[in-house]
Chains A and B, each alone.
Chain A
Amino acid sequence: MRRSSTKKKSAESVATDLFRSASSKASTKEMDRIDQLFNQYANRSSNLIDPEGIEKLCSNLDVSHTDIRILMLAWKMKAEKQGYFTNEEWRRALKALRADTLNKLKKALPELEKEVRRPTNFADFYAYAFNYCLTEEKQKSIDIETICQLLEIVMGSTFRAQVDYFVEYLKIQNDYKVINMDQWMGLYRFCNEISFPDMGNYNPELAWPLILDNFVEWIAEKRA
């Protein structure tokens, strides 16, 4: 009967322990570096990265601050407030991306983009982008101009034609001054499901948001 089993460790468990302590040391070290990176951009008094900080970050990362990848980063962070990153949010993203230096972060961006563009993630990202722009409390809709910009960022590269047409339509129509989440998501479905520009498989009798019915009609009239 082994009484002192705890005292005598197997080689394996020793190795695990070593690994653990090393990795925990390593992870603490990693977290420290992440925090360090955070502090490079954060505002001293508020302990948040504010818009100024984000701009600095963007230029260091060599991306424009209207680049979709920043929005993707925000998504990865699950950032709540547009223009601001909290420490917790920062940690969340960079830990997941395994990026504790600026360089590593830069290199992680293409991977991140691939991850976001996966169909399962993109719908979530698309919805996130809308919510991210709701700056006021109880705000439920976004004004036309912001929507146009947002569309350009989020869908411009994948659905070039639809975005161009839709933006043009939004600017000349008078029925709606703001777009709500329902209409925003409707547009996503539209781009994914409806063949463009013929729109042969669009059925106005189904429950598409009215703004899309009007959009389709407008295009048909233009072509006639």
Chain B
Amino acid sequence: MCMELQLGLALPGSDTWSRPLLKLSLYEDINVNSKKRGFDHGYLEDEFSAASFKNYEKGLVGWPPVETWRRKKLRCQVHNHMTAAENGYCGGRASNSTYVKVKMEGVVIARKIDISIHQSFEKLTTTLMTMFDIFSHFPFIFGSVDENRRSFKLTYQDKEGDWLIAEDVPWR
């Protein structure tokens, strides 16, 4: 099952989110090496105060030390309790990977991010902003992390090619 998401980040002041300044494309890579995440997460520098970030936002690999098969089996159960099985998210043949590849326009190197370790869109956006070093690309963005984050709108493009606001859909 291949899910193609395209995320767009729009700067404050832009009238429509359909003309994003930064376009992030997410492709669910079926063959993604879910075990090869080591460095991509190590890349995340703790630029902001430690207090505002917990393990899961820092993207600590392998912490807490719960075996990968145990995590998968437990996560599948939570999903089955909450959403319909035909979602295909965690059934028998669906990809077990929750890794998505993020590519930013104008940047050669793609990054990988595990969406399952993020609990909300805010946290996902913040992580993406850090990953792509947005603050050094756009020095005119002042204010706190929260203010800047709120000025970006996450959008995604579903299979039919429609652009939708990510936050309209529940996180899970």
Chain B associates with chain A? no
Binding site for B on A (CB under 8 A): none
